[in-house]
Structure 1
Amino acid sequence: MTINEFSLNRRTVVVGAGALAAAATLSACTTYGKEDPAPAAPAPQPGAAAEALAKTADVPVGGGVIVGDTVVTQPTAGTFVGLSATCTHAGCKVATVAKGTINCPCHGSRFGLDGAVQSGPANKPLAAKPVRVEGDSIVAA
């Protein structure tokens, strides 16, 4: 057989067809379950009212509430602090604010109402998220 001659046998066809089917299957799986990202929310217009995270009356002095990916605390009367709800140890979402600490259920990290680490394994504070009071509401700043 010369280099320009080509010969197919049954085994070559079967193996080639199997490889092609496997490649098609893998290709189809790479996008399974992925959705198009949601369009970004429009930026608020200057002077427009911001969406409230919580009412000031709902955040107890010496405590806090978890709203989505934000923890809002009130360490002292009239002082509101916004923090990320993502634990700095392993990325779990904190679950409760109780007895003056923000508590992560995954590995037991506890944070103060200002986000500082009270007990590990986390060794970095919760990230600050700016908030402000508008009327009787706490909004993202």
Structure 2
Amino acid sequence: MAQAPEPLTDGTGPQTGGGPGETRRKVLLGVGAVGVAGLAAACGGDDGKDDSSGDAGSGQTPTQSSGNGAGGAVLAKTADIPVGGGKIFKKEKVVVVQPAAGQFKAYDATCTHKGCPVSQISGDTIKCKCHGSEFKISDGSVANPPATEPLAEKKITVQGGSITLA
């Protein structure tokens, strides 16, 4: 006749397996599984392409700043940024918009709420899908919380139909 397992003397309850090392093994295996899952999540999902947001007719264009353009490579052609809209450059972590014809602006593409990358430009707002924050393309200010701080403006140069980070 089988007997019930005896309680451990340390008060942790009955022992049901191969000894005290079994619990340690389970913990280590669990930690290892979590680490592998985290690595898989971190390595997937980014195809390295820039994300254009907004409709082609939305008119989004980057903000224009003064400078000599020596700070970086060409981000886009002015013709690629629609008036009243813009484009998100994931790799450079910048959003270039054109709130009005010929007026180009750029903002940091990191949401000021929790640090998620902004994900879309729709109408006259830059949107973050993480928690729903929205920012005005005209000045980067908060149009819809939970963010409370505006997007940081980035300096760009518009010269000869090309937009570069300053």
- TM (norm. structure 2) is 0.55
* RCO higher in structure (CA 8 A, sep ≥6): 2
- Whole-angstrom CA distance in 1 between matches of 2:140 and 2:69: 30
Q: Does residue 123 of structure 2 align to residue 99 of structure 1?
A: yes
Task: Give the greater-gyration-radius structure (CA).
Answer: 1
- Tell me the secondary structure at the aligned position of residue 57 of structure 1: helix
Q: Find the counterpart in structure 1 of residue 160 from structure 2.
A: 135
Residue 49 of structure 1 deviates from its aligned partner by 9.0
What's the CA shift for 1:136? 1.1
Offset of 1:78 from its aligned partner? 0.6
- Aligned in 2, Cα 1:49/1:83: closer, same or farther, shift over 3 Å? closer
Structure 1 runs (4+) deviating above 2 angstroms are: 46-50
- In the alignment of these two chains, the number of paired residues is 97
For the 8 Å contact 2:117–2:128, the answer to whether it is kept is: yes
Unaligned segments of structure 2, at least 5 residues: 1-38, 40-67
1:53 aligns with 2:78: no
1:73 aligned residue: 97
Residue identity matched to 2:165 = A
Equivalents in 1 of 2:134, 2:69: separation in Å?
Answer: 37
Q: Residues of 1 paired with 2:71 and 2:121: CA distance?
A: 28
The correspondence for 2:145, drawn from 95, 113, 120, is: 120
Q: Distance in 2 between matches of 1:124 and 1:108?
A: 14
Shift of residue 99, structure 1, vs aligned partner: 1.2
Query: How far apart are 1:106 and its partner, in Å?
Result: 0.1
Q: Percent identity?
A: 53
Q: What RMSD, in angstroms, separates the aligned Cα atoms of the two structures?
A: 2.0
- For normalisation by structure 1, the TM-score amounts to 0.64
